[in-house]
Amino acid sequence: MVVTIDTTDARPLYQQVADGIKELIARGKLAEGTPLPPVRQLAADLGVNFNTIAMAYRELQKGGLIVIRHGSGSVVSSRTAAERTQAELVRPLRAALTELVLSGLSPDKIQRIVMRELRLAGKGGG
């Protein structure tokens, strides 16, 4: 189970780590209760500051995707446990759709992109 870090990606490292873990959870590759490596291990493996990984974990915790238990490590939380309103969940989608519309893509093309991404995100999971 790996996340990919790309040095040419404009996103900051912590965001790439958080997004990578989110993707694995969405695809069902990281099931509920799966332990995640300690911050210290990931920071040392990637050779980055502790805060970089800690920020990624905090973001995942804020999104209700992981539970950080001090002393016993972090685990993937139940997907239903993420008590977020639909409005909260739709907000980033709306922002991304706005970006696509502003970039001049046709609604049909945008729909195809969204459907493809949806299929990719749900692959292996549900």
Partner 1 sequence: MAFDPFRAIVCYGLFWIVRMNGCLRRARQPRLRGAGWFFDLRVPEDFYVTGGRTILRRYWMRIGIPFVVDIPIAAFIFLTGRFMLLPPLVLGLAALIHVNHVWSVHLAERQAQRLAVPDAGDPVARVALSLTPRRLRDYANGPLEWAMALSAAMAIMWLARVYTTSPAHLPARVVFGVPVTLLYVQLGAVLVKAIVVAWRAPAPLTQTAEHVDAREEKRKYYLRVCDAFRAAMTAAIVFWAIKISAPPASVAGLDRLWFAGYVAFGLAATVWIEIKRKQLVTLSLRARPVTLPDFLRQSELTRWPVCYQPSAPLLTLKGARGYSLNLANAFARAGVAYIAGLALLLVVLGSGR
Instruction: Summarize as ranges the residues that interact with partner 1 (CB under 8 A).
Output: 1-8, 13, 17, 20-21, 24, 30, 35-38, 40-51, 73
Structure tokens at 37: 């490596």
Residue 49 CB, nearest approach to partner 1 (Å): 5
Whose Cβ is closer to partner 1: residue 32's or residue 88's? 32
Whose Cβ is closer to partner 1: residue 8's or residue 85's? 8
CA-closest candidate to residue 22, choices 80, 53, 61, 73: 61
Structure tokens at 4: 């990919």
- Residue 7 CB neighbour total at 10 angstroms: 6
Residue 6 CB, nearest approach to partner 1 (Å): 5
Residue 4 CB, nearest approach to partner 1 (Å): 6
- Cα–Cα distance for residue pair 53/46, rounded to 1 Å: 9
- Residue 65 CB neighbour total at 10 angstroms: 22
Residue 12 CB, nearest approach to partner 1 (Å): 11
Whose Cβ is closer to partner 1: residue 50's or residue 101's? 50
Whose Cβ is closer to partner 1: residue 118's or residue 120's? 120
- Cα–Cα distance for residue pair 120/91, rounded to 1 Å: 20
- Residue 96, classed as helix, strand or coil, is helix
